[in-house]
Amino acid sequence: MEPVLILYASQTGTAEELAKDINSQLNEVGIPTVCNDVYDCKISALKQYTFCLLLASTWGEGEPPDDAEEFYNALEEAKELDLSQLRFAVFGLGDSGYDEFNECGKNFDRMLAERGGQRMLPRVDCDIDIDGPFEIWGNQIIEQLRALPA
């Protein structure tokens, strides 16, 4: 199986921690991965993968984390980017106390779909209780990837 690209956009470290957790879970069941901060990734890298998991926190009033701004803006501007080969899943982290709850995750999900990517799972909009939704999401990801022909 080709590697699964795991990207994280994290302000306080939670999305990074979860990305590293799903990275370990996938490796434990024999699924190869590449795990990176979106800060260290160009949007052109998305064309090199068939599967991408993106874990993103929302900062302030709906903005991406500081380190994610360049990637986020480049993806927003790349209207002609063809990601039709990409199957993706977005796990968004936010605070429902804000009007723009999980806006960064919602926008990443929208942008990947608008560029032809196909959702593996519906986007998760996670609030304060992270563990339960993350465990369910991770199990669903592993189940889908393990069901693929070798």
Q: Which H, E and C letters describe the chain, residue by residue?
A: CCCEEEEEECCCCHHHHHHHHHHHHHHHCCCCEEEEEHHHCCHHHHHHCCEEEEEEECECCCECCHHHHHHHHHHHHCCCCCCCCCEEEEEEECCCCCCCCCHHHHHHHHHHHHCCCEECCCCEEECCCCHHHHHHHHHHHHHHHHCCCC
Going along the chain from its start, the domains and CATH numbers come out as: 4-146 (3.40.50.360)
pLDDT beyond 90 at 45 = yes
- The pTM of the full predicted model, rounded to 2 decimals, is 0.95
Q: Quote the pLDDT of residue 94.
A: 87
Is 19:55 a contact under the CB 8 Å cutoff? yes
Using one digit for the tens of pLDDT, what is the confidence trace for 14-38?
999 999 999 999 999 999 999 999 9
- pLDDT value at position 77? 97
Instruction: For residue range 129-142, list pLDDT tens digits in order.
Output: 899 999 999 999 99
